[in-house]
Amino acid sequence: MSLKSPFSRHLEENDVLSIEEIQLIKKFIQGEQETLDSLDAELAGVREAVSELLDRQRALQARRSLQDEFIKRHSALLSPMRTLPLDILHQIFMALRTSHAGWMDSNQRKQKIHHPMVILSHVCRQWRSLSLGMPLLWVDLPFNSLQWHSPGTVITPSDSDRLFRFPQSMASLTEMVVAFISRSASCPVNFALTAKDPHIIIIQEDVEFSKSISPLVDVLLKARWGEIFLDLRFFPKSSPLKRFLPIPSHSRETIRTIKVYISGTGMPRDDLNIIDRGGASPQHLRSLDINIPGQKLRDVAVDWTRLTEFSMGPTWSRRHHSWHGQGSCPTLTPEEVLSMLRHCRSLIRCQLRLNHGSQQVHAPVFAGPLPETQIALRHLESLEIWASLAPRSFAASLLTPSLQRLSTIYEIFNGHRAPEGRSDSALCHWIGTHGEQLVDVSFDYASLTPPALEFCLEHLPNVRLLTIVPFMFHRNEEIRRSTRWHPDSAYHGPRTPPTTHPEVQQLWQSP
């Protein structure tokens, strides 16, 4: 849209105007200004009308929101959740227990999220009454590490703010744990605790740490334990963390899983006592995972015939991408393992650390001669061997008809060891015997000659996951504790002979 002007011919030129033309232009501008003033007045009226409409719109929107909320609140009365039988709600609540692990991970990432069981108990009176009346909802205690004092934390006197917050966080955590234990009634509780005594520069004793953590320790020691995981590092001999061991006597009848990794200078593993031998062995214990020296296993008062899972740490946590119990590497000789396994006829999963008997000989875990016939582990589905050497005779001594998962990772001392041929390899024996039923296999290819490696790969027709690494550990302690090597950094590939698979060829040729 454009406006017409009687002076348009002058707008594009630089002509000198006459006096008459100047007077006419001034009069023309005055008339146009009156038109502009009229438009401004009209526009002001429109703005006022728009403002009134916006006010009306906001008022209507507020009324609509109020009406919508009113309808929703009444519609909620018709929700199918209100008509669900209590037994169905019970099953739904129990299914939500699996969200406990996700909540723990979120809190480790400092995402402040309420515990799922606490959320359930704050929905309505019915849900609160139901959830508080279900002790099993509260048996998983809401913590897994001590804030500010988790492994790797170094505390100095200058960290005054951090030290100030730690007692407060421990007090809040203790209060929450007390509530969970109270709501769990008489049910055994489960918890995982990763903690260490803080390194204090200049200050030798951390009295504040002991005072802060002791109430939590007191509460946990009074509870009955079901499944526990303790990854503890002691430094002073007076560490309050030492009070967790041995397992409280009143938990002997309820404990089902024990996973204990101990390190640090405050408690030598030779003095470690997990379960007192004075009383009866835990009758419901099914899973045992410890990192104590092999010769000390005979001092662990457990009924080995009832165990379905046994492991000697350290172990790799794929969930947390870290080692547990890395500060020590307990081992058994093959003879000790066979002597022990003859009593473990119910095992389903087993992880062991072997050492060469000629290098380090321990007293047998169990007295008596070694079995002359094969040891039958008819329920064993998963076998994991960490070793300096796993002789073929060791593999031949085990009868494992249900084996599906096999892992043999050897320690390569100083990076050198002669690879084993097919006739000498325990791995080749297991694969030759159970290859068709194995679905998950892990091994280090540096322990095998090329023909032995090809034999292993060719005799795994049904494997779904194949993990191959060159080696896992060195004798060098610095490298042993390095994060460069862990199972998650291993090579995962399909079942293919090394002569045709370029990744395996590259691994084989790499130094």
The parts of the chain modelled with pLDDT lower than 70 are: 1, 99-112, 144-164, 199-206, 265-272, 277-279, 293-295, 298, 313-331, 355-372, 387-389, 411-417, 470-511
Same domain flag for 116 and 148: no
Task: Report the run of H or E that residue 422 belongs to, with start and end.
Answer: none
CA separation for the pair 123, 19 (Å, rounded):
87
Q: Which residues contact 123 (CB under 8 A, 6 or more apart)?
A: none
Instruction: Specify whether 98 is located in the same domain as 122.
Output: yes
- Residues 405, 495 within the same domain: yes
193-234 residue pLDDT tens: 888 877 654 444 567 778 888 999 999 999 999 999 988 887
Same structural domain, 162 and 224:
yes
Outline where DSSP puts E strands in 206-313.
225-233, 257-263, 287-290, 309-312
* Beta carbons within 10 angstroms of residue 137's beta carbon: 24
- The reply to whether 283 and 159 lie within a common domain is yes
406 phi, psi to nearest 5 deg: -135, 130
pLDDT of residue 376: 93
In a domain, 315, yes or no: no
- Dist. CA 234–CA 208, nearest whole Å: 16
Residue 55 domain flag: no
Flag whether 484 is in a domain: yes
Residue 313 is assigned to a structural domain of this protein: no
pLDDT for the residue 159: 57
- Same domain? 429 vs 448: yes
Clarify whether residues 117 and 194 are in a common domain.
no
| Boundaries of domain holding 110 | 83-138
Position 107, amino acid: N
* Contact assessment for residue 374 and residue 398, using Cβ atoms and an 8 Å cutoff: yes
Residues 113 and 144 in one domain: no
Q: Which of 305, 323, 341 is the C-terminal boundary of a domain?
A: 305
Q: Is residue 41 part of a domain?
A: no
Locate 98 and state its tokens.
């699996």
Number of CB atoms found within 10 A of residue 67's CB: 10
Secondary structure tally for the chain: helices H, strands E: 15, 17
Q: Which residues contact 471 (CB under 8 A, 6 or more apart)?
A: 410, 411, 412, 415, 444, 446, 447, 485
Nearest-CA neighbor of 124 among 68, 85, 88, 77? 77
> Do residue 299 and residue 428 come from a single domain?
no
Task: Show which of 110, 138, 166 is a domain's final residue.
Answer: 138
Question: What is the per-residue pLDDT for 46?
Answer: 93
Q: How far apart are CA 305 and CA 489, in angstroms?
A: 36
Task: Give the model's pLDDT for residue 268.
Answer: 56
Number of domains the chain is built from: 3
Q: Which positions ≥6 away from 306 have C-beta within 8 Å?
A: 283, 285, 286, 346
Same domain flag for 363 and 459: yes
Q: Is residue 240 part of a domain?
A: yes
Claim to verify: residue 129 and residue 263 sit in the same structural domain: no
Q: Is residue 54 part of a domain?
A: no
Give yes or no: residues 300 and 202 share one domain: yes
106 within a domain of the structure (yes/no): yes
